[in-house]
Structure 1
Amino acid sequence: MSGSPVILGLEAATGVSSVALMHGGQVITRRHDHGRARTDALLSLADELLAEAGVRRSALDAVACGRGPGGFTGVRIGVGVAQGIAMGVGCPVVGLSTLQILAETARAAHPGRQAIAALLDARMGEVYAGCYRVDDAGWTTAVGAEWLADPDTWALPTGDWLGVGSGFARFPALAHRDGLVGCEAGMVPEMHCAMALAAARFAAGEILRPEALEPRYLRDRVAHQTPVGGDG
């Protein structure tokens, strides 16, 4: 395929839902921040973007989606809407971690920052956590696995880390952990910040059939895993 891909992106795993469209090398975006994700709101945002760009759904090359972790309902709705659109069009999907979308949002806001700790409030006294470093290509890459943890067990690999996400708002003491050089508890995952990453994954063939996209809840895995440590 010649030219840049046409990709619709959806992220709904937190209280803020965002939709983005990459078309002609440009990215436009919409967001819904009125509480819990809703299927009709996501579809409406997607249709607004497509209409603004003058793009038919049939022109989509792929649908990118944040697959969690995050709120159960939001993750399920985001994945379901992405699958529905992609199945209707007959295009593949690109699954992205919601924590990595948050890390990409932080990278975009702080271009010089090389290490980002993304924490989301997981309720039940726990956090979803992921650590990311910016690689030579400019993308965030995971340092170890994402995990679900008791905040008291959370520790950072060696380095100077920027902490972002609602986990820090829910547990303010985490902002004082060793290794953190800054914290933005109000930052949320914004899909438009991860569209270049989605396009790179698409170009590399890292795609799925819509029905193969699975939510990532983490809560069905063993909680209180040992956090990543050492030099990463």
Structure 2
Amino acid sequence: MLGIDATTGPCSVALAVDGTVLSRVAHARRGQSATILAFADELLAEAGIARPAVDAIACTRGPGSFTGVRISTGVGQGLAMGLDRPVVGLSTLQVVAEAVLQADAAPDGAVVLLDARMGEVYGGLFRRGAGTESTTVAVSAEWLGPPVSPSLPAGQWCGAGSGFAAYPPLAQATGLTGVWSDCVPDMGAAMELARHALARGDAIPAAELEPVYLRNRVARPA
């Protein structure tokens, strides 16, 4: 399975082959589409397989920057259509949670807040999966709102995402065990999440993939 992300600016591409995950990351915020395709070809060459051997495409579908979400879903959809393969759409917020909970074994879950500009954040709560259900599981609907501390379920929770960097008081007010404000989507860490989704039958035809913006307007009147 090939996974791609560009929803928050940096590009992340990963390839899962027989339990091994290969990945590439670029922090340049221009030319993301070309970078994603180049990385995909590099990883396929490294694994010694051709594009038609890919079983499915996984891509983040948002929320994130308007342009980044368009690139991530557009390239993912294009690759899936070109190969006639299904696509697994992943939440950007859950992919961030996946990365931080793999890196930190202590917390029971993660509150992910991404800077949405305009004085708002994208947010979501995710706990560790139990058994084989998944690696992480959403415990709230994702939201767009002012940067206020969310109510957390019982247990130990960490924070992750650019929202904590944009609004530092959030880290102090929520009583989190730790905060990873520089954590961005990492498809290398998300391929197990994508594998669970594919096994559950959550893959869809490429034409049905829809971006998730959460915000209906990208600009406010003067």
- For this structure pair, what is the TM-score category when the shorter chain's length is used for normalisation? over 0.9
Residues 181, 111 of structure 1: alpha-carbon distance in 2 compared, 3 angstrom cutoff: closer
Of all paired residues, the percent bearing the same amino acid is: 50
TM-score, normalised via structure 2 length: 0.92
CA contact (8 A) 2:73 2:209 kept: yes
**Which residue in 1 is equivalent to 2:137?**
141
Of 182, 199, 211, the residue aligned with 1:215 is 211
Determine helix, strand or coil for the equivalent of 1:218.
coil
Alpha-carbon distance, 1:181 to partner: 1.8
Structure 1 residue 65: deviation in Å? 0.5
How much has 1:178 moved relative to structure 2? Answer: 2.8
Q: Check whether the contact 1:148–1:219 (CA below 8 A) recurs between aligned residues.
A: yes
1:113 to 85, 104, 107: 107
Instruction: Give ranges in structure 1 of 5+ residues lacking alignment.
Output: 1-6, 222-232
Q: Residue 94 in 1 paired to residue 92 in 2? A: no
Q: Aligned residue for 1:48? A: 42
Q: Which runs of 5+ in 2 are unaligned?
A: 218-222
SS in 2 for 1:180: coil
Paired residue type of 1:92: P
Give the 5 Å matches for 1:150-229: 150-152=146-148, 154-159=149-154, 160-220=156-216
- Residue 206 of structure 1 aligns with an amino acid whose one-letter code is D
Check whether the contact 1:14–1:36 (CA below 8 A) recurs between aligned residues. no
> Which residue is 2:19 aligned to?
25
CA 1:100–1:37: 2 relative to 1, 3 Å: farther
SS at match of 1:95: strand
Corresponding letter in the other structure for 1:155: P
Query: Within 2, Cα distance between the matches of 1:149 and 1:180?
Result: 20
RMSD: 1.4
1:31 counterpart SS class: strand
After TM superposition, give the deviation of residue 36 of structure 1 in Å.
4.5
**Correspondence 1:128 to 2:126:** no
- 1:18 & 1:38 partners in 2: Cα distance? 10
Q: Which amino acid counterpart does residue 167 of structure 1 have in structure 2?
A: G
Say if 2:67 is the partner of 1:68.
no
| Cα distance in 1, alignment partners of residues 5 and 42 from structure 2 | 16
Name the SS for the 1:81 alignment partner: helix
Distance in 2 (alpha carbons) for counterparts of 1:157 and 1:111: 18
Provide the rounded CA distance (Å) in 1 between the counterparts of 2:62 and 2:114: 10
The answer (yes or no) to whether the contact 1:120–1:129 under 8 Å persists in 2 is: yes
Q: Deviations over 1:10-63 (max 9, x none)?
A: 011112210000012100000110124621111111111111111111011100
Secondary structure of the residue aligned to 2:72 is helix
The count of aligned residue pairs is 214
Inter-partner Cα distance in structure 2 for 1:14 and 1:139: 22
List structure 1 segments (4+ residues) > 3 angstroms apart after TM superposition.
none
In structure 2, what is the Cα distance between the partners aligned to 1:95 and 1:175? 29
What is the distance in 2 between the residues matched to 1:120 and 1:65? 18
